[in-house]
Structure formats: structure tokens, C-alpha cells
Amino acid sequence: MKISILVNEGPYTHEASDSAYLFARAALAKGHEVSRVFFYHDGVNNATRLTEPPQDDRHIVDRWSKLAEEHPVDLVVCVAAALRRGIKDENLAPGFRISGLGQLIEAGIKADRLVTFGD
């Protein structure tokens, strides 16, 4: 099954990002294809390399980067939401790219399922 994911919440303000990441990992482990993860609203904060959690906490941004490194998952950040929050190409974490809402529409059309995490 081809799956796309929409993440609407930031990495440390809500469980949505953790849940989306764990869902993506589980889907990949079961042999499903996770073609795209689209980060929208506060979810764009999952993509900034400026995140520095305490050493004893999980590094959610690094988790997403490693996922994209290990699997052909397209991590797309909404340009309008990113710019509103001061996120630009130069401060994106590895594996992420900035693009428009058309990428979300395409993800929904091409996937068998579009799974949303967060409000």
C-alpha cells in the first residue's frame, strides 16, 4: 500500500510528530511504501536544523532526517507555513525540502491512504 502522511503539529508541543514518525516506521517495516510526509502549520517546525533538545530527550528532527536517509521518503515542508515561522532553505535539517501545497494535493491523489496527525 502506498501511504502519504500529513503532520500538522510541532515536534515538542504535541504527540502528533512522534506518532507520525512511529507510524511511518511501522508501515515501512510491514513493507508499505511511505512516499511523502508533508509538514504543515506548526508541523514545519519538525524540519529545522536549529532544534537542540536536551541530551536525555529524543531528537525528533534527527529521527525524520534518518528516516529519509534510510528510505526513499520525500519530506516536504509547506513554504508559506515555513516562512511564517522563519524557516528557510538554509536552516532545514538534512532530508527536508520546501515546496507548496500542490505537493500535499499530489500526495493525496497518488497515495492509497493519506494519514493525518495533529489538528
Catalytic residues: 78
For the chain, how many residues are written? 119
Cell digits of residue 27: 508501515
Write the DSSP assignment of 21-40 as a string of letters. HHHHHHHHHTT-EEEEEEE-
Give the distance, in angstroms, between the CA of residue 55 and the centroid of all CA atoms in the same chain.
Answer: 22
Distance (Å, whole) CA 36 – CA 24: 10
Buried b (16+ CB within 10 A) or exposed e, 72-97: ebbbbbbbebbeebebeeeebbebbe
